[in-house]
Amino acid sequence: MWRACFTSLLVIATGLALLPITGDMRFPGQDKVMHAATYAVLYALGWLSFPGSVFRWPLFVGLLCYGVLIEILQLLTGYRFMEFWDVVANTLGLGLGCLGIFIWRRLLHGAILPN
């Protein structure tokens, strides 16, 4: 089930990232918050799909590369832009996802389980 959720979010995020931008931002930096939140959830779903230690290098690096690829694809659309700060927000989101799992495991088990 978690792998289906993870894969679905990857497909949805890719589609949304490549659509033309419509609508106004409610506050400055809203898109960066959305990047960070999306990548935090992607990391958490990825971790649930492939459980192990809190910090999973292959998952982190894979999602970071996915984010860079999306930025390159946006540049190629002609109506979207490639932004360095989007990659920074993605990286922050991945870190927040990792931190969230760390805290969740700590609260659930009272200590970090070795893996």
Residue 86 lies in a domain: yes
How many structural domains is the chain composed of?
1
The four Cα atoms 16, 17, 19, 22 give a dihedral, to 10 degrees, of 90
Residue 80 lies in a domain: yes
Residue 85 lies in a domain: yes
- For residue 109, the model assigns a pLDDT of 74
Residue 81 lies in a domain: yes
Residue 82 has pLDDT above 80, yes or no: yes
User: Where in the sequence is the domain holding 93, given as residue range(s)?
Assistant: 2-18+29-109
* Short-list 93, 90, 6, 96, CA closest to 48: 6
Residue 50 lies in a domain: yes
Residue 115 lies in a domain: no
Q: How far apart are CA 13 and CA 71, in angstroms?
A: 12
pLDDT band at 108 (very low <50, low <70, confident <90, very high): confident
- For residue 56, the model assigns a pLDDT of 81
Residue 23 lies in a domain: no
* Short-list 87, 98, 82, 3, CA closest to 41: 98
Residue 24 lies in a domain: no
Looking at residues 46-66, what average pLDDT do you find? 86
